[in-house]
Amino acid sequence: MTGKPDTIVLIHGFWVTPRSWEHWKTRYESQGYRVLTPSYPGFEVEVEALNADPTPIETVTVPQIIARLEALIKDLPTPPILIGHSAGGAFTQILLDHGYGAAGVALNSAPTEGVAVVPPSQIRSLLPVLRNPANRHRAVGLNLKQWQYAFTNTFPDDRARATYERYHIPAPGSIVWGSALANFQPGHQDTWVDYHNNDRAPLLFVSGENDHIMPPVIQRSNARHYKSHTTTEVVEFPGRAHLLPAQDGWEEIADYALNWAVEHARPGTPTTTG
């Protein structure tokens, strides 16, 4: 593995925790990789504890999340492969733009600032948060029906319920609202990236055909925003919902993402930037 990344950082999204990577972590570790599944600040406890006391979810911010992830990566001897899901996909894009990572994969990624496509299925998926401005100060959970629509719409009912019980936590209403309004605010917002950054590591968008909350049209639009000479690609998997890391057949996507990242990874360079 000399000259190639030996570490993978898996970055979770909202409404779930690092537990959502449990299968991927085991699979990658069995292939000899060091696999890190960092949590957001305050999310170090388990799903059950966050559901019992969502205070950390109410107060977390995007700069705090990025700072934690950057601090983790800075301590690694060589740049890792970054793989992020949903909001974790947007954070992966930000980290790549900041000079971190040998290659990045964004799974059903939340959009970075400037992506203006808002399909109806996304509006419906986010309505539990966006229907009430007071939710900007709350942690907002989904009920099972809302979870099934936004995350597991192609799952069998029993499988959808099982993933809800194992992975679901509330999401930070402040960040969801901030992302929804990012394109209407002056100046750079929390999810801004430089789409012209030629120093960024290669990036792959992995899109699920039937994802409701971050559907393929968002992934394609996000990818088209990149104008640099660095590799940016999109691949779509048929029949997949938003919760790719836990959907039956996840192994195919996990292997595809890793193989692409290894093939396109930049040679080992110092991890830290300014």
Nearest to 227 by CA among 120, 97, 136: 97
- Number of domains within the chain: 1
Q: Which residue has the higher pLDDT, 239 or 179?
A: 239
Nearest to 16 by CA among 132, 190, 167: 167
What whole-number distance in Å separates Cα of residue 12 and Cα of residue 68? Answer: 13
For the stretch 121-155, pLDDT in tens is 999 999 999 999 999 999 999 999 999 999 999 99
For the stretch 79-93, pLDDT in tens is 999 999 999 999 999
> For residue 273, is it within any domain?
no
- Say if residue 274's pLDDT is above 70: no
Q: Domain range holding 96?
A: 7-264
pLDDT category at 270 given cuts 50, 70, 90 is low
> For residue 222, is it within any domain?
yes
> For residue 184, is it within any domain?
yes
For the stretch 5-15, pLDDT in tens is 999 999 999 99
For the CA atoms of 47, 20, 86, 28, the dihedral, rounded to the nearest 10 degrees, stands at 150
- With vertex at residue 215, the alpha carbon angle to CA 210 and CA 220, rounded to the nearest 5 degrees, is 125
Structure tokens at 121: 């299925």
Backbone angles phi, psi at 217, to 5 degrees: -60, -30
> For residue 274, is it within any domain?
no
Structure tokens at 264: 């396109």
**What is the reported pLDDT for 1?**
42
Question: How much is the mean pLDDT over the chain?
Answer: 94
> For residue 2, is it within any domain?
no
> For residue 269, is it within any domain?
no
Q: Specify which residues 237 forms β-bridges with.
A: 208
pLDDT category at 267 given cuts 50, 70, 90 is confident
> For residue 272, is it within any domain?
no
State the average pLDDT over residues 23-43.
97
CATH number for the domain harbouring residue 152? 3.40.50.1820
For the stretch 159-209, pLDDT in tens is 999 999 999 999 999 999 988 887 877 788 899 999 999 999 999 999 999
> For residue 195, is it within any domain?
yes
pLDDT category at 273 given cuts 50, 70, 90 is very low
